[in-house]
Structure formats: C-alpha cells, structure tokens
Amino acid sequence: MDSGTKVVSFDVDGTLVSQEFADCVWLRGIPEAYAAKHGLSFEQAFELVKREYDTIGENRIEWYNIQFWLRKFDLEIAYETLFARYEAEVAIYAEVESVLKALKEAGYMLVVNSNAATEFVEFQIQPIIDLFAHVFSATSDFGELKKSNGHYARVCEILAVKPQEVVHTGDHFVFDFINPRRIGMTAYYLDRNRNAKHEENGTDGFVISDLNELLDAFELI
C-alpha cells in the first residue's frame, strides 16, 4: 500500500454491518405499524407499504428518510422505538472491530461514507463509532441520492486530503468502487459472497471477500 495513504474509508450496510437490521425496520416494523393502525393483516400492509416504497423509488431523496415515511403513513411510532425493537438484529461482521483497531493503531484516520441516513448509520455502528473520526451520509449530510464522484470530492475537501491519500472499501460496485476511483482514490470492492468476476472487468487485485484482506494490502499482517 502506498505510504501516502492518510484516510481509510468504509461503507456501512454490507461492509461493516449486515443488512438484517435495516430490512427489519423497513420491511417488518413499518408494515406491522401500518397493519395495526388500519386493521389489516401483515401481508396486506406489507404489499401496500412496499408499493409506496416502489412508487417513490430509490432515485428520490425521500426514499431514504424514515421520518418522511412515518409521516406519509400517518404512523405515530417514533423511529427510535422501531430501532430499539430490532436492536438485536444489528450485526457487525466478525472481523470488523479488529481490522479497524489495527488500522487506527497504524496511524490511519478512519471515516464512514454511506448512502444510509445518519440515524441508521450511527445506531448500527454505535459499539465501534469511537474508532471513526468522521461519519458521512450522502443523503443526510449532502442531500445526495448516492455516493457520487462529487460526494467523495466533497469529503476530501472537508478532511483536507487529496483523493490519492484515501482508500475506500464497500460492497456496491458503482458507489463504492467505480465512483471513488474516478476521482483518484484507491478503492476495494468488498464481495462477501465471492460473486464478482473481477478477471473480466479489470478489478483483479482490488476485490476482497472480507476486511481482513485490507490488512494484507496495508502490510499489517
């Protein structure tokens, strides 16, 4: 790894934590609350809620805003209550804490770069949040739908570093790999299910299956 690296950046869902918690909130908690309010079965409520999610779609900023959905469905439950209900579903991947500690002890600044809203990010990474110098949410902090080239450039400006001094890792091929590389960052595509055909798309050497492989790249193991 280039000794000029100063910052190591991570996505959250699918990278630091599993998807279960978010799925429970969106696909169980909200439909259950809607069913209770309107006297529907869970299945009926799920179909109605899912249809509304799909109508808004992930290309609108509201899609990521849980307060928007609670208001839209006229639900009196607070998102904090939903989060507490499914707290047991938060699952930080087994290798994450040791990898983060090794990188931090080696002198790197650690940051989070996520599409998820800040309240989701901070709740899920609470046990390890003190290891991070900054937590950035594309939707909450910058009003952007996705982690674009501009998102990463703005983060670099805030951190007062050059893109070439940042390494980012995440599990979305475009938002976590292609986009940061376009502005000069080093990026690793995290493929926990080992589905990537990296020999075919030129990513060989930058696809990892868990975060321990980052330590090898940084020559820390």
Length of the chain (residues): 221
- For residue 2, what pLDDT band results from cuts at 50, 70 and 90? low
Residue 60 has a pLDDT of 87
Q: Specify whether 121 is located in the same domain as 167.
A: yes
Which of 73, 88, 103 delimits the end of a domain? 88
Considering the domain boundaries, does residue 2 fall inside one? no
Q: Which band of pLDDT confidence, cut at 50, 70 and 90, is reported for residue 10?
A: very high
pLDDT value of position 58: 81
The owner of tokens 């899609």 is 63
Pick from 11-20, 37-46, 139-148: least confident: 139-148
Same domain, 80 and 145: no
Asked if the structure places residue 35 within a domain, the reply is yes
Predicted pLDDT at 59? 81
Range of the domain at 120: 7-18+92-217
Q: Does residue 201 sit in the same domain as residue 143?
A: yes
Q: What is the pLDDT of residues 24-76, one digit of tens each?
A: 999 999 999 999 999 999 999 999 999 999 999 888 889 999 999 999 999 99
The answer to whether residue 167 scores a pLDDT higher than 50 is yes
Structure tokens at 29: 């908690």
Confirm if 133 and 108 have CB atoms less than 8 A apart.
Answer: no
**b/e string for 146-178 if b means 16 or more Cβ within 10 A?**
ebbeebbbbbbeebebebebbbbbbbbbebbbe
Q: Are 145 and 56 a contacting pair, CB within 8 Å?
A: no
Return the percentage of the chain with pLDDT > 90, whole number: 83
- Among 88, 110, 127, give the residue marking a domain's end: 88
Encoding tokens for residue 197?
């055909």
Number of domains in the chain: 2
Average of per-residue pLDDT values in the chain: 92
Percent residues over pLDDT 70 in the chain = 94
Q: What is the pTM of this model?
A: 0.90
| Residue 196 predicted with pLDDT over 80 | no
> 200 falls in which pLDDT band (50, 70, 90)?
very low
Return the residue matching tokens 């990892």. Answer: 208
Same domain, residue pair 174 and 100: yes
- Is it the case that residue 202 has pLDDT exceeding 70? no
Do 132 and 184 lie in a common domain? yes
Q: Is residue 119 part of a domain?
A: yes
Please give the single-letter amino acid code of residue 69: W
Q: Which of 39, 71, 88 is the last residue of a domain?
A: 88
140 and 53 within one domain: no
